Amino acid sequence: MKKPLAVVVLVGLVLSSGQVAPGQQAQRLRTSIVDAHEGLTIGVDPWTQAGRYKTKFPKKSPFNAGIIALHLTIRNDNDEGVKLNLSRIRLLVQLDEENRQELQTLTAEDVADTVMLKQNGKDPTARRSPLPLPFPTGGPKPERDKNWVEFKEACQNAGIPSSVVGAHSTMEGLVYFDLRGEIDLLNTARLYVPDLQRMSTHDPISYFDIDFKHAD
């Protein structure tokens, strides 16, 4: 039996925006996949079981379409806000000994297309190498109905709510990657979080390169 990759326990008052109120933030961030420097701490909790998705996605689940969500908890202990470029977050996976791939995060629209549109041309159950990267394709698209809109909004609501983590506060949410259901790739994956800077001075903060192999 494989041991779970991570368990995140966040103790504190979490606001509906996904941020912990200043002065009431969690005193500790406990996770088996975590990295910290320059007053910033990032914890990663991969959702690798179908049951993890039921609260956020009671009807349709990204997991059933081969998409894996990573729950990120980002704590800022600095005296000023920190800005991060969410679109530049990458998941680095090792497909085999000589094939390493960098996966982009999926937007809420990407996830909704994969889960809700039956004619999107994807087969989430098929193993393919390399794994897909999200990019626009030509030709007509299947209709995006009200169910698609509702699911897209659910993906947005569950995602990271802002690109700014306030001073002495914590923010949390999901980022999505299309692994085609190949959960084993997470055992040797790395999460790359670049493009971080302090709000007042615009000074850069060193990138995060979080190695899943060191999960406890």
Q: Compute the average pLDDT of residues 66-84.
A: 97
Q: Which residues, including other chains, have CB under 8 Å from residue 14's CB and lie 6 or more apart?
A: 20, 170, 172
The ranges assigned to domains in the chain are 9-214
Higher pLDDT, 107 or 141: 107
Q: Which residues pair with 211 in a beta bridge?
A: 190
Give the range among 27-31, 181-185, 197-201 with minimum mean pLDDT: 27-31
pLDDT band at 173 (very low <50, low <70, confident <90, very high): very high
Give the model's pLDDT for residue 31.
Answer: 57
Higher pLDDT, 79 or 24: 79
pLDDT digits (tens, 9 = 90+) for 103-133: 999 999 999 999 999 644 454 444 445 665 5
Task: Report how many helices (DSSP H) and strands (DSSP E) the chain contains, helices first.
Answer: 2, 15
pLDDT over 80 (residue 155): yes
d(CA 60, CA 15): 25
CA 130 to chain centre: 20
Average pLDDT, the chain: 82
Question: Whose CA is closest to 156, among 89, 69, 84, 74?
Answer: 69
Which phi and psi (to 5°) does residue 200 adopt?
Answer: -80, -40
pLDDT over 90 (residue 71): yes
Q: What percent of the chain has a predicted confidence (pLDDT) above 90?
A: 67
84 SS3 class: strand
Give the model's pLDDT for residue 7.
Answer: 35
Higher pLDDT, 61 or 5: 61
Owner of token pair 């060193």: 206
pLDDT over 80 (residue 136): no
Q: Is 185 left (phi over 0), alpha (psi -120 to 50) or beta?
A: alpha
Q: Compute the average pLDDT of residues 51-61.
A: 96
Contact by Cβ (8 Å): 179, 162: no
Q: Compute the average pLDDT of residues 44-62.
A: 96
